[in-house]
Structure 1
């Protein structure tokens, strides 16, 4: 094995190292694309096609291992193994364990793949020192190895020299091929020497690649090392010493920051201070860092808003520049590197285009397949509804016919409470399905329209009685189609294993004939569909046979369109592992560019990376339960343990070799914990200052205007009250919807309580007020009403009757003081009518103030003038936010009440 290790002191002067001439024309593979970019920027001699990433070489050498087809086959084999194994333990206990293993199947497979990559021999495992979960993992792995498909879990070894040559040359041109660029000739590249740059976190497969390549090639491992900051750089020596080779270094080119040099910057001086402090050789704090401060962001949301503003500015500059050099990220005035890159999870929501194109399953039609797969009950061979939102996803997908775009989901949302307790589409065994209940609703609406239901005025305020018969017929037809389509896809999986090929052939035909013809030719979605179909052309290669659950688990891997030619960075905030390459670009960038090192808190800088091993593997498993046989094992485990020291190195490296301005920041509060500034910065006396940048988006208040036209309906007292309470509610209910309509389940439940109390109150007028009489009336009326409120269960109806009873006793019987129900006056009737419209007529805020005080008084002549048509046309209808919002029938359209108090 021809393997050697070299270091360099200054990344800008690797060309001054004694070995440079022997490697500059060789094949170079970097730990990241950012390092590729950085080295290309600094060294012209590396622009001849010999520079790419380590990942490309790994994929070129082991293409099948990363293939989606391989992963699905492995997942299927693991699924079948877990289904067939019957350990000698109590049956109920095994049932629970099996459920847990199946829930964590992806993690189990990742663990098995890791063990394969590491070449673990189960005979060297100390079973007594592993956990129970690890015992089941090993048992599953052992069963696979002794099965007839063990070859699917083998990583190839013993390549020929010709195969290694081919892999190296393929890796060098792979990225250009994917981007559709002109492929550079690699004929002048010396592929007999392979140089690997900057790897600190070695993976088993990278180490296997190094071992295989070094059998025929000279392999040089290269990394930055500075003796002057030996304590911080010790992490590199600790990792590379596990190779058990001599590390060749010389330190003539070390960069020593000083204010006397023009190339030294404030950040370089700070790096020097950090390095010396860590070494224990700092004699006094430099005055040159007195003005350095760390920005304190209160939380990650505030930090993401700060980043978002800068990114949006960059987007604007990018599209304004006709030359367009580079990507949007290169136009950002601040380049972000974070010790905690979770901020990207927030930014991904606002800027999805920056984080790579969406997976096919992320589109509405993709949601359709996810939803129907989730609902299919393979045991009974039909749709089982556990979440009505799955039906909603199908109706929004565009896969089902509708006369007008959006009509299906609109009707569904208006009627969903009526059938919300249904657990299937079509009834079975006496249980009513959604379609059955919709047919009953049709009959009730017909009776209501013909005046044949006794509670006509009250029921007209429920959203599901406001839809037309035609709209319900359209929804029923769509749901019946959904049933047919779902059965077509999945009926083969009823209580048996099946070949996945048949499913994907049906899906391919459905996309080609039903979805693609309706896709807009000018949208990126059609391109996604075409690339998905290109992937599905390979369905004949699928030989996997397993259960429906396994198909469901692996769909996301197979239904991913082929990658688009051309690639861009899928991040906005880079992590610290990308600093070492990107910072080199600072030497050629404008001096106004700022390198922003974020999340420099103790908790983020000292993270131990608990997620470094897939469940159930742990560091203890590798340290105590296994006896390794080769050097690769030691290197891998050591690099995992050293991750906590890597960020410290990355921060120093970024500050020292940055040739532009810099910023530091940290997040004060995260996950309900208060973070402290990184202790090294605190020891240096670096101050913190609150974020003073305005990251709040400018609020533009848009007042609602409405063209009343020739309104001849006139207005009543209820309209006047709405206008007093909220202009926006008045506009929606009085001008557009012609009255209150309850769609929200919470409000419909409260409405049932109010009309129940009102009807009983009228029924008992003049009767003796005994508890038995009240209870009998409540039971009778609630039984007749409940057929129109099918979403309520018995427990809820019991609570409603109790609340209605208390309201009757309190209001009509003055808390029980009156023993006979009094005559209902006009004032009582007026109160009942207003309660049905506004739920509450008295609402107290936290200061015990009635916020509805004065809202229900009669209108004065002057006030009525604002309802003249010419006045209404000119009026604005602003939103009035208060505690009455939670009882407002249009709150789901308004959404104003969901804003935080801070925003308000």
Structure 2
């Protein structure tokens, strides 16, 4: 019933005898990059339907695969069963691993596991329990929905294809969010076609030639789509066959699709690359298609292409032929760790972004303009780091990744299921304050205020305690504002805000308290009502708030509209609802993995097509280099048990179930598939190639893929250059102003000579130095009291012993600094006495010297062990010659604008009040170890 077609070179598929026939059928590709590569090489108009297999599955099995409400209800069903487990140890284990348990259950249902499919020997307790839960859920309509989707017909296929085509044309028209109203879409298409036709017909010139080429491609695509959807029955598309292109890793749903299509007498045509002369390389394809009894159709073709020597050598070695190897001119770059690699990638991305004009700075444009294209054996870790810096590149973001989404996560993460109430923690509260849902009124943002006052509230756990503490804070802020003796305490960051800002912060905390009381009134709640209350609350607070982006507001409205059309009557715990947030608070999302900065190796299939500069939709030369990363020996080794969701293992199943046999067999071959992809990606690549691996692997050292060693590929250590790590700290316009030497005085030079980076923070970025860490606050308060007692003593004002005076100060401080424990105050008391005793012993120190006192209060210490006594010449004056030398050094620092030439003194960093903001010491440790 099915057919297996192969091609000797992905760049010559159109030369195969079957091409004219096969291109008219729906073409489902295993990766989005393959979709892009086929469009790039052969032109999108060559195909009627061209999309990923996963995208079609989401349409065809929508009730199971793309229904967030059903996902939530399933998750709650599972959670309620876990909560009812009698074995406390098992309950805790399953509760902690709920996502894995959910994935296991989905796998079991999609594979249609029966009792006879289970290998009862040597099952672990966890395997037995997940199978018990599976049995309980078999009769649940939310879970057995897939088994009730057996009545699919050709009309369902055409409906799925129509929805895909409508989404494609809407994307080309820039109206992604509108409904699938065919007449409206046709009207929009006509308008766009008219405009594009005018552009294309205009006389080309050098300035606009490339743009008009793009217009021609877009015009052809839209016209093609419009012709396809002209007939709502899709009579222009032949559905008698469906092409599955590049499928190696079979999933239960892909195999189910094959069976469902066959039931409808639809032939499934498998397509993949195959070269008979490299039998061992392609053996992995033979194994995963053993279940398919049809003969593989192998074609030979003299392509005329020159093949990459590295690819040829890898193929020859795998075949056991060591006597037909070509000379190689390539090294493998060694990155110390994942951070070093991602820094390198980020630099390449930045370079591409800067070359583009603002109006062309879309994610796909930047990626296409990167001079080096990256593919990694496992790119997840690198992309997770890169998402932090370039979130716009990774497609349509999940709602929870926006600041408003972080606000919601912050609320739920403060819910303590043991205490059955909100327990404040710094990380979650910071997430809540990231988005400003409150009136700003010219104050600092909520997060900026929190960063200043967090130490003051560090011992508190409830929002009620926060509100009481703020009242105490305001009382002392009033004293600091009015009474001279309290002025020094304004150097503490939590007493460095205004009274208005403290009241503003109180309003914010009060609102958070109101929100949590509404949402978390009871532990077990009606899920549907809870979500409705949540999104209604967010909707009200985002309307008209200038800090909410248009995209965020649109997402809130989408979710609000979706909620109004759904109903979930289940009752569940707040903790369970927190786990289901990611299902519900999302809009429909496309697979944008092809736009990831570091693509996975599975994407190489289309990558070699994108590298071909002769493609029908090419607009000039692409990237100069391709970069295959993470080529460590360890990454090419995979175990089936690592791929199946916990607690399932290969040994969980017998070989009675064909779905399981096919899926397990392909997963067992995953390591060999990665090796094939390295061959494929090098052999057919018509670009210069860089290769690399990451040496650090937890406590072990990775080694490069062993075949590269057999080929004599030498290692080249990646070294961080000053250009890579220099921080252009001062913008040119600021630097010009600073070069006014008349403003440079001894105080400024003091700061610069202490540390150039402190100077930047103190005199360029922040002119209001405050102590915000417990370490610095403790030191500063000791100094303030010590100087006060010394001052009283010099004036004859001490009426008691020094120890008694210190205790009197401590009594006051216990009210002013309520976050400190009794042990902290004992430490402060001992510290004050120690400072005073030190001054008595060192008679060279004049504590009445205003310069000395100012330096101690500003820098904590006047001379730091290991330092050079940087301040001493300014205590007693300095000759003009030395002053001018130091001033010139500061001017040079501003002019050079390269801070990498200055080394830091770690001892000074320890006592610097800007340590946390600057974090230079941590950067130095990361670079130099």
Q: Distance in 2 between matches of 1:396 and 1:194?
A: 48
Instruction: Quote the offset at 1:722 in angstroms.
Output: 5.1
CA contact (8 A) 1:591 1:661 kept: no
Q: Distance in 1 between matches of 2:717 and 2:420?
A: 60
The correspondence of residues 179-578 of structure 1 with structure 2, limited to 5 A, is: 179=171, 180=176, 182-183=225-226, 184-185=228-229, 186-216=234-264, 217-243=266-292, 245-253=293-301, 263-265=305-307, 267=308, 269-286=309-326, 289-319=327-357, 327-341=365-379, 342-376=381-415, 383-385=422-424, 387-404=425-442, 406-426=444-464, 433-451=465-483, 456=486, 458-491=488-521, 494-495=522-523, 497-519=524-546, 523-538=550-565, 540-563=566-589, 569-578=594-603
Change in Cα spacing, 1:741 to 1:520, as seen in structure 2 (3 Å) is closer
Name 1:596's counterpart in structure 2: 626
CA contact (8 A) 1:51 1:172 kept: no
Q: Distance in 1 between matches of 2:434 and 2:469?
A: 21
Q: Distance in 1 between matches of 2:154 and 2:851?
A: 93
Mark the runs of 5 or more structure 2 residues left unpaired by the alignment. 177-221, 885-889
Name 2:83's counterpart in structure 1: 83
Q: Distance in 2 between matches of 1:230 and 1:851?
A: 73
Q: Distance in 2 between matches of 1:707 and 1:687?
A: 50
The question of 1:835 aligning with 2:856 is answered yes
Q: Distance in 2 between matches of 1:19 and 1:865?
A: 84
Mark the runs of 5 or more structure 1 residues left unpaired by the alignment. 88-93, 256-261, 427-432, 709-713, 815-821, 867-871
Aligned length: 843
Change in Cα spacing, 1:97 to 1:856, as seen in structure 2 (3 Å) is farther
Instruction: Quote the offset at 1:98 in angstroms.
Output: 1.9
Instruction: Quote the offset at 1:191 in angstroms.
Output: 0.9
Q: Distance in 1 between matches of 2:749 and 2:642?
A: 64
Instruction: Quote the offset at 1:605 in angstroms.
Output: 4.8
Q: Show CA shifts across 1:430-455 (max 9, x none).
A: xxx01111112222333455549xx6
Instruction: Quote the offset at 1:388 in angstroms.
Output: 2.9
CA contact (8 A) 2:32 2:593 kept: no
Q: Show CA shifts across 1:539-565 (max 9, x none).
A: x3333321111111112221123448x
Q: Show CA shifts across 1:264-311 (max 9, x none).
A: 14x1x332222222111332433xx34344344444444334433433
CA contact (8 A) 1:164 1:213 kept: no
Instruction: Quote the offset at 1:836 in angstroms.
Output: 3.7
Name 1:90's counterpart in structure 2: none
CA contact (8 A) 2:356 2:366 kept: yes
CA contact (8 A) 1:725 1:855 kept: no
Change in Cα spacing, 1:177 to 1:489, as seen in structure 2 (3 Å) is farther
CA contact (8 A) 2:633 2:703 kept: yes
Change in Cα spacing, 1:857 to 1:273, as seen in structure 2 (3 Å) is same
Name 1:790's counterpart in structure 2: 818
The question of 1:158 aligning with 2:188 is answered no
Q: What secondary structure does 1:227 align onto?
A: coil
Q: Distance in 2 between matches of 1:584 and 1:283?
A: 30
Q: What secondary structure does 1:663 align onto?
A: strand
Q: Distance in 2 between matches of 1:76 and 1:388?
A: 29
Q: Distance in 2 between matches of 1:82 and 1:325?
A: 42
Q: Distance in 2 between matches of 1:113 and 1:826?
A: 73
Q: Distance in 1 between matches of 2:504 and 2:361?
A: 52
The question of 1:749 aligning with 2:748 is answered no
Q: Distance in 2 between matches of 1:169 and 1:737?
A: 58
Q: Distance in 2 between matches of 1:276 and 1:285?
A: 7
Change in Cα spacing, 1:122 to 1:796, as seen in structure 2 (3 Å) is farther
The question of 1:116 aligning with 2:109 is answered yes
Superposed CA RMSD in Å reads: 4.3
CA contact (8 A) 1:56 1:171 kept: no
Name 1:582's counterpart in structure 2: 607
CA contact (8 A) 1:339 1:605 kept: yes
Name 1:135's counterpart in structure 2: 128
CA contact (8 A) 2:288 2:665 kept: yes
CA contact (8 A) 1:415 1:464 kept: yes
Q: What secondary structure does 1:229 align onto?
A: coil
Change in Cα spacing, 1:583 to 1:844, as seen in structure 2 (3 Å) is same
CA contact (8 A) 2:113 2:657 kept: no
Change in Cα spacing, 1:689 to 1:375, as seen in structure 2 (3 Å) is closer
Change in Cα spacing, 1:406 to 1:361, as seen in structure 2 (3 Å) is farther
Instruction: Quote the offset at 1:647 in angstroms.
Output: 1.6
Deviates more, 1:294-303 or 1:213-222: 294-303
Q: Show CA shifts across 1:165-208 (max 9, x none).
A: 44664476364266256453442332112221211111111111
Larger Rg belongs to: 1
Name 1:91's counterpart in structure 2: none
Change in Cα spacing, 1:721 to 1:335, as seen in structure 2 (3 Å) is closer
Instruction: Quote the offset at 1:421 in angstroms.
Output: 0.9
Q: Distance in 2 between matches of 1:603 and 1:737?
A: 49
Change in Cα spacing, 1:345 to 1:855, as seen in structure 2 (3 Å) is farther
CA contact (8 A) 2:415 2:422 kept: yes
CA contact (8 A) 2:492 2:777 kept: yes
Instruction: Quote the offset at 1:64 in angstroms.
Output: 1.2
Instruction: Quote the offset at 1:658 in angstroms.
Output: 2.5
Q: Show CA shifts across 1:746-765 (max 9, x none).
A: 20022234445556778999
CA contact (8 A) 2:7 2:13 kept: yes
Q: Distance in 2 between matches of 1:303 and 1:727?
A: 29
Q: Distance in 2 between matches of 1:363 and 1:559?
A: 11
CA contact (8 A) 1:5 1:222 kept: yes
CA contact (8 A) 2:847 2:853 kept: no
Q: Distance in 1 between matches of 2:724 and 2:44?
A: 47
What TM-score, normalized to structure 1? 0.82
Q: What secondary structure does 1:336 align onto?
A: strand
Instruction: Quote the offset at 1:82 in angstroms.
Output: 1.4
CA contact (8 A) 1:600 1:665 kept: yes
Instruction: Quote the offset at 1:402 in angstroms.
Output: 3.3
Q: Show CA shifts across 1:767-822 (max 9, x none).
A: 9xxxx9887776554344332222222333344444445555555368xxxxxxx9
